[in-house]
Structure 1
Amino acid sequence: MTTVIATYSDGVHRAGVVALWRKTFDYGTPHNDADYSLDLKLKADDGLLFVALEGGAVIGTTMAGFDGHRGWIYSVAVDPSHRRRGIGAALVRHAERALSALGCPKINLQIVSSNEQVVGFYEALGFCVEPRISMGKRLPGRG
């Protein structure tokens, strides 16, 4: 079956994306809830959420963002039954092209420390580990 990468459409893809993210991401924190994350991304209205589809079913995702200075890639997920077929790489490259078209000079991404095995995946796509300290702060109201 052919894989197609498309821009996310809420009325068409939401249930599939939520199911995929719940299957592949086990964050367990309210601010990373799949529906909540989708709602926040849709408020940005930037067209930088992409899905990989086979036969109309969501089998992969990637989300990107651009603030005018740096681009970010988030939520790269491929259903476990469809991995090792180049779908994740195709999603990342699709996001890279979209960010490049916006004039983005550099892309960043973060990897949860418990998911270090994915480092090789990103290195094969040209990303490198940079000497940075990632810091975060949760704002009141969403865990």
Structure 2
Amino acid sequence: EGMDSSRDHYQRVLERNPDTCWVVEEEGEILAAALGLSDRRRGFVHSVVVRKDYRNRGLGAQVVRKTIESLRECGTDRIRLFVRKRNSGVLKFYEKLGFAVEEGCHYLYDTSGTPV
């Protein structure tokens, strides 16, 4: 649910960034995805989606970790993603993955492994 409405957009991002995007599929259905973008110095987690009926099973964490790993392999200095502060459940999810709040609504991740 919620994934089909932007399927074409996600497909384009995946095709342009095959080394930094991760998808979990089952029988041709996308269950979870994290899309990473990099300009070699900076990385950005563009989007993380998990199908509603597959949430709370660790799939989101799995694809985010793989995306972070692949962005590091690209040599990024920092990895960012944007989250609304009022979305407290998602904030906790990203904090568990090593992200920290920076100036308002976005998170910053230091690829040395130390949250900032």
Q: TM bucket by the smaller chain?
A: 0.7 to 0.9
Q: Which structure has the highest helix share of the two? A: 1
Residue 90, structure 1, aligned to residue 90, structure 2: no
* Aligned residue number for residue 130 of structure 1: 102
Residue correspondence of structure 1 range 4-19 to structure 2 within 5 A: none
What is the CA–CA distance in structure 1 between the aligned matches of 2:11 and 2:29, rounded to whole Å? Answer: 20
TM-score (normalizing by structure 2): 0.75
> Aligned ranges for residues 55-134 of structure 1 at < 5 Å?
55-113=27-85, 115-131=87-103
The structure that is strand-richer by fraction is 2
In structure 2, distance between residues paired with 1:84 and 1:38: 22
In 2, the alpha carbon distance for the partners of 1:62 and 1:114 equals: 21
Distance (Å, rounded) in 2 between the aligned partners of 1:74 and 1:111: 11
Q: Deviations over 1:10-63 (max 9, x none)?
A: xxxxxxxxx6524xxxxxxxxxx61552365257x2313321112332101110
Paired residues in the alignment total 105
Query: TM-score, normalization: structure 1?
Result: 0.62
> What percentage of residue pairs aligned between the two structures are identical?
30
Higher relative contact order (CA 8 A, sep 6+): 1
Whole-angstrom distance in 1 between the partners of 2:27 and 2:54: 13
Q: Flag structure 1 segments of 5+ consecutive residues without an equivalent.
A: 1-18, 23-32, 135-143
In structure 2, the gaps of 5 or more residues are 107-116
